[in-house]
Structure formats: C-alpha cells, structure tokens
Structure 1
Amino acid sequence: MGRINQWLCKACKFWRKKYAEGTCRACGMVVAVNDDQACRLCWNQFIAAGGRKNGADLLAANRFGQQLFLANLRHASAGQRLGTRRQRRTQPATEPVPTFTAVTHRQLVLFPATRDVKNGRIHGFPAPAEPAMAAFLEEFLIGHAQKHGWSHTATKGARRGLTIALGLQDTPGAPLRATDILGLQQIGTNTLRLLEVCAAAGLLEDDREPAVDKWFNTAVAELPEQMRSELSRWYAVMTNGSSTPPRSKPRSEQTIRLYLRWSLPALHAWAASGHTTLRELTTEDVRDVLPGSGNPRARMGQGLRCLFRVLKSHRVIFFNPIGRIRTGTHETRHPMPMPAAVLREAFNSEDPARAALTAIVAFHGLRSGQLRKLQLTDIHDGRLHLQDRTIPLPQPVRDRLAAWLSYREHRWPMTRNPHVFISRRTALDTSPVGVQWITTSMGMTPQEAREDRILHELHASGGDLRRLCDLFGLSIAGASRYSFVLTHPEL
C-alpha cells in the first residue's frame, strides 16, 4: 500500500478497476461489487465459508461479521480459483448436466420503456429470477467457452453479462431477446458472445430488425407516401418471393440493394417534380431522368426495369413506362496487370497474414471464397488440397504460410477454429473470416492479384485458354476476356 495507490493494496485496486460501484447486498456499503453484488470483504468471507461449490450462502456467511486479513497476501480472485481446484479433486467424475425448458408465454408490460442499463452499475442489477435457467446457461456457457478456446477474462465477462441479462428479463424463464442483450453494450459487455451462446443453447429470440429492412426504410423515407407503399410491395416480393402467380423466388439482399440504389436517383427526381405515385409515370418521364449513355444509363435502366416489371406483374401499376426503352448493357472491364512494386511490397511484408495471403493468390490465383474456407487440414505434404485440384506449394509460399501459422499459434493458442486464416473475432468461434478482412489484410482485393496471376500465365503459355480453365477454374467465356490483353499495344 502507499500514497500513490490511494492507500489501497494491489488486490483492492484491481477489484475497483474490474468492477463498477454498487451496493453490497451483504453489508450494504456503496463500494465496488462483483457480479454477485458483493464487495471484496464480504466475498472473501463467502469464499472462506466454502463458496458456491459447497453450497454456502453469501448472506449467511456474513451474518456475524467478517474476518479481516492482511493486505497483499491474497489476490482478489485467488481464493475462488484455489477453492475451485480443491473442489475439482473431490467432486465426482460425472456430474448431472442441468436441463431447462423455456416457458412459452410472455409477460405483458404496462408500457414499453427503454432500460437505463448504465444506472444499474451504480445501484446494482437484480439477481436472475429463474435459477434453473441461470444454472443451465452458465453451465452451457462454460462448456462453449472451453470448446472455442475463450480466455478466462472473456469467459468471466460473458458470465457477468449473462447474469445481468437474466436479471432484467420481463418474463423469467423465457428465451432471451436479442434486443435486450444488445442493450448491454452501454456497459461495455461483449454482446456478440452472449448472442452466440444463447443461440447455441436454443434460448434466443432474435427480434432484431434485419439490416436490409432498416436500410430500405431509410432509403425511401423522403419519398411520397403512395410511392413508398408501392415500393414496399416491390420489396416484399423481392425479399420473400411469391407463391401465387406470377410466382418468383426470393432475391438476395445484395441484389435488392443494387436495384433500389440504381433506381433511387430517378425516384427522387420524380418526387421533386411533383409525382406522388408510380402509376402516373409515362415513357417521357423515364426518358427525362435516364443518363445519356454508358454504365450509369445501363444501371438505372436495369433497376427501373426490375421495379416496373414486378409492380406490373402484381397489378400495382397498369403500364410499364420503360418497357420499350433501350438502356444498353454494362460495359465490360478488361483485366489489367498490377504494378510489380505493389505485389512485391505485400509479398515481402512483415505482417504474416498479408504476406501469406498475397503469396497464395500471387502464385496460385485463389479466389476470396477459397481463402476464407481454407482449413488447416487442407495443407499437408507440401501441397494445398482444394475440392477440385491439388496444388504443389513452392518454397516461398511454404515459408510465408509457416510464418503465419507460427504467429497464429502464438497469438491464439487456445483457438478451436479450423480455418487457416482467422481474426481476433473469429478466433473465439469456428466461422471463417470475412471478405473485408482479407482485402484489408492484403491491401488490395484478391481479384486484382488473381487477375495479375492469370495474365502472367496467359503470356507464359502463349494464349492457351484451355490451360487457364484448368489452372484457375474459369469457363471458356471467362477465359476469353483475358485474351484481349495479348493484342493490346501497351501490354
């Protein structure tokens, strides 16, 4: 202890840094309390009485006061860990796994209100009202954390967040709502882990608004009401499909975003000129907003063509104003080689992830999807075993892969993720990394490096398109677009 630590021992300083201030439910003092709403002195008295594993009770252990102890002789959580180890030696080899069945009803509230979760850090959070559900989820969380290699700190934070979420339930015993869990972000809780655990345990009710729904409502918010209603009908058909004539399948979220984004400039222009519904639009109105030529005209034409075609087939509008207007097709981009200095810098980077990713793509032209799905068992005997081919790895690629795998083992020694490339987030589960992580790590898109590799092979083989198809999984049409480079005067 000393003046620089405000006359606190190291354990007390750690305790106050780790936990927020609240009211201890044993002694009633307003100090830093842990997840069980106990101050450090009352918690140590509870541990000395046997702890939770021996069935001790916090209030009963502190009923007749606390036994003081000397400073700096006991860590804030050392007694708890020691008691856990001793208990593990004496507990039976097989323990009954708790089971729990969620209730099917929901308790109605008098009026909806936003919870002030930050206020709970001062006055404390209520204990879980359904002990059976709390015991089941805690046991499941511990097993899930061990399976996915979570650290002790990550597991402890998830347990604390789970206890708070259970205490704030309006209906004890019901599946946890995703929006209630996301509200714990206000107090710094990692809600992604809680959502993952609850979903795996089958006790999550995902009531979140899909991101594409929120984006659509924001995009059309400034349009007239009748026009928004017609666009909502188009959006419903595109999202869910139609089981009645004319039947259609649901479209992907990316397709919906593209078509609406290409159509929005025309929709806003019509709204600004006084149109309130798509039913009153004519062919001249469409011609007035279409760009003159090129990709802008083709994109807007494709978006509006999809919009009017769906609305007319479902009898929302009676006339397709763009039906007889030619808008052209997208202009194709010819593949171009990358500057050698950019590839060389990424290939020799000190970042092991960047160097390994660039080496694989620059030598073998893998796609981003293949990089994401690449697993540890796919690399053995000096070869890369993909679903459709086996690739012998040259020594430069082997060296960079070995450096990345060594870094991966040192950085995340407990991870259970089977993929070769993992990130800080995916190290805690078994999902692959995202495309954005690969692009950010490489400093370029994998497609750019892949095209450079294909062009290099095209020159080396003298324009053998069949060889490109075999090596890189291209179709004849896909390989033909690279042949233009052979006759380009500047390439």
Structure 2
Amino acid sequence: MLEEVGIFEDDSEPSFERWLVGRLEGLAPGIRSKAERWARVLRDGGPRSLPRKEGTLWLSLNHVRPTLLEWSNRYDHLREVTRNDVLAHIKTLHGHQRRDQLTALRSLFTWAKRQDHVFRNPISRIKVGQSEYAVLQPVLPEQVERSATAATTRAVRLVLALAAVHAARVAHIDALTLEGRPNRRGRRAERGGCGIGSGRRGRTSWIVCGSASGQRMQGRILSGCAVCTYFTATLG
C-alpha cells in the first residue's frame, strides 16, 4: 500500500552486501579492497567481462578466502604475493580443493593484472593438473542391505539399482524423466531405453532420458528392460 502511494522507502541492506562483508572480514585492508572489487566485477560484469552466475561468485570468493586470510598475516597488498607464496600454499592442497582454490586465485590475479593492481601475475604458468581421485572401496553387504531397506518405493529402488549395479552417474540419473507409457514391445516408440512410470495395474513402466548424455547412457546401461527386471526381481 505504501509503495503504491509512493511513500515507501526500502532501506534494508541487500543480502549480497551482508554476505560480502562477512566473507571479506579479517583480510588486510589492501587485499580486502581488491577482493571486493573483483567480487563485484564477477557479479555485475565490467568493460571486458560478463557477469557470472551468483553461485559462481559465492564459490570463487569462498575458495580464495582461506588463502587471502593466510597472506593477510604477512602482506598488506596483493602485489606483494609472489609465485613462491602460491606454490608453497598449493603444496598443502590436494584433489578438488587444490583445483578449486587455484582456479579462483587465477581468476582474481588475472583481473588484478588487467587492472594494474599487481606488477606480475604469480599464478601464470602454474598448471591446475588432474584431480587425484580416491581409490574406490567395495561396499559391504550390510551397507547394501541397509540401502535396500531404506528404499521403500519402486522409483527409489530403481535409482538404487542404477547407481549400485550399473554405476550410473548422478547427472544421468537426475536427467531421467517420467514420460508416457511403453509400447507393446516394452519400449518407447520414439526412442529406446528402459524407464519408469505408471503402467497397467500399477506396474512399473519405463524411464525416458531427457539429455544427450542420458541417451548415450541408454545404449550402454538401459538396454531393453534389464534394469526394471533386476530391481523388480531383486528388490521386490
């Protein structure tokens, strides 16, 4: 009502501003000012860059914060950071943590170099490298039993069979959609593959994949009705 008559003034602080203040707390003033300007460029874009998604901004600032806090104990400005400082820091990181922090730091220093806030980019020629994945361990029988017991619906049981038996990835399973009913051959007329839906007498129907990667998975994993046969016979 107040807004309609033109007398309402919204003086509340945007949530982004509160979040940004919290993420920059504890940094040296010179480092803090440059990190703030970099974060605003990520959000709003600039003359030579497009605005990024909000989630990208959050992740990027969260990834660089631990490193910037460490450097704030020794330096007052980003231009004081050397290549040896970066190498010494990333030696303590492994896997995704190393990749994520190094990628975010590369973004920060690339922007700072373009704006002439640093004399030299200390991240240049430092390769991110491949992520080191942990060795896969076999699942114990009691863990399988516990998962099967927790799967109380047919849809959840099928997801369990796809992941545990056929090693279907999360992105592929997430792309599965509930679409239509099968034809008399037990397949979709438009595209092959197993699926799930409501068939006659409440029986399970078939899954239809909605993404290109999911359709590739169909040819390798979801052939015919083997998956539905498995989870119906094994998981009830």
Q: Same fold by TM (over 0.5)? A: yes
Contact persistence 1:299–1:330 (CA under 8 A) = no
Q: How does 1:273-422 map to 2 (within 5 A)?
A: 273=74, 275-292=75-92, 294-295=94-95, 296-326=97-127, 328-333=129-134, 338-349=139-150, 352=152, 355-364=153-162, 365=168, 367=170, 371=174, 374=177, 378=179, 380=181, 390-393=193-196
Change beyond 3 A, Cα 1:368–1:470: same
Q: What CA distance in whole angstroms lies between the structure 2 residues aligned with 1:368 and 1:468? A: 11
Q: What CA distance in whole angstroms lies between the structure 2 residues aligned with 1:283 and 1:366? A: 38
Q: Which residue of 2 aligns with 1:470?
A: 219
Deviation at 1:223, TM superposition (A): 0.7
Q: What CA distance in whole angstroms lies between the structure 1 residues aligned with 2:21 and 2:187? A: 46
Change beyond 3 A, Cα 1:293–1:328: farther
Q: Which residue of 2 aligns with 1:222?
A: 26
Q: Deviations over 1:287-323 (max 9, x none)?
A: 3433256425444322221210122123333321221
Q: Could you tell me the percent identity over the aligned residues?
A: 21
What amino acid sits opposite 1:281 in the alignment? V
Contact persistence 2:31–2:76 (CA under 8 A) = yes
Deviation at 1:337, TM superposition (A): 5.7
Question: What secondary structure sits across from 1:263 in the alignment?
Answer: helix
Change beyond 3 A, Cα 1:325–1:391: closer
Contact persistence 1:259–1:303 (CA under 8 A) = yes
**Which of 219, 241, 265 is the equivalent residue of 2:45?**
241
Mark the runs of 5 or more structure 1 residues left unpaired by the alignment: 1-99, 113-178, 180-206, 403-465, 474-491
**Which of 63, 68, 72 is the equivalent residue of 1:267?**
68
Question: What secondary structure sits across from 2:62 in the alignment?
Answer: helix
Deviation at 1:235, TM superposition (A): 0.6
Greater RCO structure (CA 8 Å; 6+ sep) = 2
Question: What secondary structure sits across from 1:391 in the alignment?
Answer: coil
Aligned length: 201
Change beyond 3 A, Cα 1:107–1:240: closer
Mark the runs of 5 or more structure 2 residues left unpaired by the alignment: 163-167, 206-214, 223-236
Higher Cα Rg, which structure: 1
Q: What CA distance in whole angstroms lies between the structure 1 residues aligned with 2:63 and 2:9? A: 43
Query: What is the TM-score when the length of structure 1 is the normalising length?
Result: 0.33
Q: Which residue of 1 aligns with 2:15?
A: 209
Question: What secondary structure sits across from 2:194 in the alignment?
Answer: strand
Q: Deviations over 1:437-487 (max 9, x none)?
A: xxxxxxxxxxxxxxxxxxxxxxxxxxxxx98562469xxxxxxxxxxxxxx
Q: What CA distance in whole angstroms lies between the structure 1 residues aligned with 2:91 and 2:55? A: 23
Question: What secondary structure sits across from 2:143 in the alignment?
Answer: helix
Change beyond 3 A, Cα 1:394–1:221: closer
Q: What CA distance in whole angstroms lies between the structure 2 residues aligned with 1:388 and 1:253? A: 36
Q: Which residue of 2 aligns with 1:106?
A: 7
Contact persistence 1:347–1:356 (CA under 8 A) = no
Contact persistence 2:63–2:104 (CA under 8 A) = yes
Q: What CA distance in whole angstroms lies between the structure 2 residues aligned with 1:104 and 1:393? A: 54
Change beyond 3 A, Cα 1:356–1:241: farther
Q: What CA distance in whole angstroms lies between the structure 2 residues aligned with 1:219 and 1:261? A: 7
What amino acid sits opposite 1:359 in the alignment? R
